């Protein structure tokens, strides 16, 4: 199964902006982890953090 790494970074006022979506986000990550799609994530030591996941196929956007 192919593995992928995504990098994310935080915007200004991230704590305030993420508050309304935080629990749904965490629930989604938990579901992905339990299903085996999400391998690992953060916690970030800087403002940039990796997200490592795997998937059987990736569709091309072209």
Q: For the segment 3-56, what is each residue's pLDDT rounded down to a tens digit?
A: 777 777 778 898 899 899 999 988 998 998 898 888 877 666 666 666 666 766
Interatomic CA distance for residues 7 and 28, integer angstroms: 18
In angstroms, the CA 61 to CA 15 distance is: 32
Residue 24, pLDDT score: 96
Q: Which residues contact 5 (CB under 8 A, 6 or more apart)?
A: 50, 51, 52
> Distance (Å, rounded) from C-alpha 39 to C-alpha 34?
9
């Amino acid at each position: 199964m192919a593995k992928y790494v995504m990098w994310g970074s935080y915007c200004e006022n991230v704590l305030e902006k993420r508050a309304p979506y935080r629990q749904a986000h965490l629930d989604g990550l938990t579901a992905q982890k339990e299903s085996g799609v999400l391998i690992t994530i953060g916690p970030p030591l800087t403002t940039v953090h990796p997200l490592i996941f795997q998937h059987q196929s990736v569709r091309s956007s072209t």
